[in-house]
Structure 1
């Protein structure tokens, strides 16, 4: 390199260093005269469209970056009589452009909000930000996008969208609150994250974490056309939400204005359906044992109606597919649809949609059944196979309907326990308390298999049976209905046996003339040729009209009262020979059955032998 060129390079480098030193030394002086609180407030207001109030003068820092630090910053609406706070932050740190500052201008490249509080107004159960002024730069940019969308809704021209530099907004330990005019309620707390938006016509990315409904939540979202998205047009959108109660992801397109259209692939996974519903405060379930649940579907719709197409639902190990439709018309939202399962966990379905609870009631005395004024349901289910404990059902068709006044769950058809079975429960809430109807019909059912599935095997005949049960009464749970209900029950049994009844042992203990527990004759079984049973139920007590079993040469009959909810038994029985010798002088054996369902006893009234 020639000497003159080397000397020139040294002078250039030296001049640049001197210039940098002068700029660094002069920035505080420039800031003290040019970058004043009014200029910062003006720029913040120009972007947001809100009134900006700075209670203290900014602190200017030059190293390691040129930035301003403001304390006690407030954004308010433009109500002159009673301005309301929109956003308040304890501290705001701004990275500023040094070159713009030298020109006497303020350009933000990064803003950090420390402990900000965003206040939403709550009216008619809807949350909104107070409206900014139309001249706000963000608002004008969205209006420009809205005009482009109105001219070409399906393919708006994005070339005219503003490309103003925006930068990055970070937030730390913030809150979002709802203000209904009377009180303020936390929506999100411990909110931290960032909004990366280099320019208004470029991609935006949101990363945030916070606490919502008592659970830590992480959220990421991005869109390549944010202005079109906010302006009512369809634009790409992806988001992901992660929390202990659920993970949710969406990839597709959406519109965040007007009717809030959405079209894309949705995935939801939760370790417990009841836990997810309880976390979102969407509705109530009668049990906490339903779960886990996974849903994958294409979701299409707007604020009036959402369709879940090609739905794949896995709940409690049962996988089904079909269509779900959610409409938001007048009244409660309606969830309707049809789902087909290869294998269905029937107890989980019953627990989720049964109109009555088998557990405790809530404070109002109503059962904790699904719905409860939050959502209405009209769902159809089918399954090639279904499980109920150790039992297997085939060709199952079921339906669930729920609204504020009426809830029903029906298994209209199922092949099970060697025959066919139907089951239905209906809860009417029109009078402020639930009046429940239960019905069950079975044809050619193997009672022993049904009893095993229900866990009620004691003294149940092992025989084919055709039966019907109809029960109606007030109650908040199953036990209440059994104690108060009225209706009818009947059954016809074919040949079989009754485990836990030994007729020879019965005669032996009766001959002693003293009462004895039923457990004393439970070794062995009683063969039967058939049996008939019919009873009328009044206020939870079945009055026997017919109760006859035939066992070889003997006929066994019962008469009296049987409480359905485990209260004391009061039965009179009779054992006689089916074809008595006309010359025989022996009288039939009569006996009394008392005690309870769990521990009955026998008291002989006459000695047959």
Structure 2
């Protein structure tokens, strides 16, 4: 027989088992009568600040875990009886404390929300937020944190922060609806993730996947002191965004009070700047697809003005560095700064703002100048080398300015084909201007090399030349731009030569009479001491004001028109002897017509007898 001590132990164990069984058996009854009906909605309201309504019948599960399953839960704004719920969910599952349940209380730390729907509205400052909650534990905790921050903004006493247990919230298949003018529009869908915040005075994390503007994305945020952050203080933040159009990360201090403040390391990368701008749906309409773009550096500033120091960026495959500043004036994004590149593609840079022919635009399209009122830009650029279409320049200094309907892209200094280049292109959409302007001064450059690089088939003299262009006209279609521009073009040469024509053979052939093609004349070289060309341009035509070449013994000059839109020619030429030449011949005139590619010549006529 068992001893008395053994029997006493058996009775104690049996008693404890019976007590535990009674407690477990009592849980469903207690939970169903005291917790579900009287406490869960109250506790959820205490935390959220909204009126919580359990529209479905709750169900309590005891084994293997003590849980409450709530169906059709609605979080309503106090006093707004006819308004739709701020937040509603098909089902909410809550892990409950069995001990608290037996006391008639509720304590939970883990919540799972299925198919939640959050309704937000646009605030005056552009934020999309739900209606403000009433008094709640969270609001009171934030107020306490704000008081501690106000008492010592630099180093609030974290030990005095509320330490209420919060827990983990998991959510699946959620949506966010924007309410405007009584209509609801879905702005975020397929939201699934997890927010973990063990206690209000500890760190918290948020990881979520969603679909925004048709693109799947993942956000991952970790805050060292979330409550201090909500109370207007500082907290170290680590955040990342991953999506197909844009990937970004930030790590540093953040403040949410007033206009906010950030100071940390940022990095943004996009495989296509155009796609990222389209996804952002800002007022900035992107131009051509310029390829990948990335930027990283130290981000400092608030929501009104920020700057990236020690910026490392790559634009269209061209890396650079410098300083960038961003601001939002009158709702228009403004970007300014100084950037230095090892190499730079000016065509791709301009294509980022407006579609150029060949990059998504046709020559028959209107010039897209909407960007002149969508962004303010003030950039100073430098590059060891830069390309503009087929031209390669070195030691480049340039500026790009866009503001209030005016866009100006200028190269203030560059070295090209052995000389220097200054050029600028302006688009002015203001009502009293509404036009385009092109200016260029290329000094002492290898004109033959420049013409070859541009793909020109016209014969170009060999030698150093200076080209000056000043043209302007109304904004038009790309293919009509040449016809609408007016102004002047001038070209000056020092000593040089024109290859491809023998002047003596030309004169001999012309004196035979009859029209002939210029390519019938034997090739040769015509040396000259100087040459000068000046033309007035308008309506697709260049009218020669001066066209003269000074040869060792002769002078060749032209008058007439060059319809450059159709590549036509209508020129009268004159060959005369210089005063120093002996013997002298009477001036001889001739006519050149046809086209640039196939000019023809009429016979020479002597205008006066030989002296």
Note whether the superposition's TM-score is higher than 0.5: yes
Q: Distance in 2 between matches of 1:107 and 1:6?
A: 39
**Judging changes above 3 Å, is the alpha-carbon distance between structure 1 residues 559 and 162 closer, same or farther for their aligned structure 2 residues?**
same
Q: Distance in 2 between matches of 1:501 and 1:275?
A: 53
**Judging changes above 3 Å, is the alpha-carbon distance between structure 1 residues 260 and 421 closer, same or farther for their aligned structure 2 residues?**
same
Q: Deviations over 1:165-196 (max 9, x none)?
A: 11111111112222222433332221111111
**Judging changes above 3 Å, is the alpha-carbon distance between structure 1 residues 133 and 213 closer, same or farther for their aligned structure 2 residues?**
closer
**Judging changes above 3 Å, is the alpha-carbon distance between structure 1 residues 331 and 36 closer, same or farther for their aligned structure 2 residues?**
closer
Unaligned runs of 5+ in 1: none
- Asked if structure 1 preserves the Cα contact closer than 8 Å seen for 2:284 and 2:371, the reply is yes
Matched, 1:601 2:598: yes
Moved more, 419-428 or 549-558: 549-558
Q: In the alignment, which residue of structure 2 is the partner of 1:85?
A: 85
Q: Distance in 1 between matches of 2:14 and 2:515?
A: 121
Matched position secondary structure for 2:472: strand
Matched position secondary structure for 2:427: strand
Q: In the alignment, which residue of structure 2 is the partner of 1:34?
A: 34
Q: In the alignment, which residue of structure 1 is the partner of 2:335?
A: 335
Q: CA deviation at 1:237?
A: 0.7
Q: In the alignment, which residue of structure 2 is the partner of 1:213?
A: 213
Q: CA deviation at 1:576?
A: 2.9
Q: Distance in 1 between matches of 2:500 and 2:89?
A: 76
Q: Distance in 1 between matches of 2:249 and 2:469?
A: 47
Q: Distance in 2 between matches of 1:419 and 1:505?
A: 34
Q: Deviations over 1:462-506 (max 9, x none)?
A: 431101111111125654432211111111123445566676897
Q: In the alignment, which residue of structure 2 is the partner of 1:66?
A: 66
**Judging changes above 3 Å, is the alpha-carbon distance between structure 1 residues 243 and 133 closer, same or farther for their aligned structure 2 residues?**
closer
Q: In the alignment, which residue of structure 2 is the partner of 1:569?
A: 568
Pairing 1:213-252 to 2, within 5 Å after superposition: 213-252=213-252
Q: CA deviation at 1:110?
A: 1.6
Matched position secondary structure for 1:328: strand
Pairing 1:347-426 to 2, within 5 Å after superposition: 347-352=347-352, 367-368=367-368, 371-388=371-388, 392-426=392-426
**Judging changes above 3 Å, is the alpha-carbon distance between structure 1 residues 544 and 55 closer, same or farther for their aligned structure 2 residues?**
same
Q: CA deviation at 1:97?
A: 1.9
Matched position secondary structure for 1:44: helix
- Asked if structure 2 preserves the Cα contact closer than 8 Å seen for 1:355 and 1:425, the reply is no
Q: In the alignment, which residue of structure 2 is the partner of 1:264?
A: 264
- Asked if structure 2 preserves the Cα contact closer than 8 Å seen for 1:492 and 1:532, the reply is yes
Q: Distance in 1 between matches of 2:521 and 2:11?
A: 113
Matched position secondary structure for 2:598: strand
Q: Distance in 2 between matches of 1:87 and 1:470?
A: 63
Q: In the alignment, which residue of structure 1 is the partner of 2:148?
A: 148
TM-score, normalised on structure 1? 0.88
Q: Distance in 1 between matches of 2:524 and 2:99?
A: 100
Q: Deviations over 1:435-454 (max 9, x none)?
A: 11111111101123333444
**Judging changes above 3 Å, is the alpha-carbon distance between structure 1 residues 398 and 587 closer, same or farther for their aligned structure 2 residues?**
closer
- Asked if structure 2 preserves the Cα contact closer than 8 Å seen for 1:177 and 1:186, the reply is yes
Matched position secondary structure for 2:127: strand
Q: CA deviation at 1:331?
A: 4.8
Number of aligned positions between the proteins: 599
Q: In the alignment, which residue of structure 2 is the partner of 1:592?
A: 593
Between Structure 1 and Structure 2, whose CA radius of gyration is higher? 2
Q: Distance in 2 between matches of 1:65 and 1:592?
A: 97
Q: Distance in 2 between matches of 1:524 and 1:163?
A: 95
Moved more, 269-278 or 221-230: 269-278
Q: Distance in 2 between matches of 1:245 and 1:480?
A: 36
Matched position secondary structure for 1:547: strand
Q: Deviations over 1:386-430 (max 9, x none)?
A: 345675433321111112321111111112221110111111111
**Judging changes above 3 Å, is the alpha-carbon distance between structure 1 residues 493 and 52 closer, same or farther for their aligned structure 2 residues?**
same
Moved more, 42-51 or 540-549: 540-549
Pairing 1:300-319 to 2, within 5 Å after superposition: 300-319=300-319
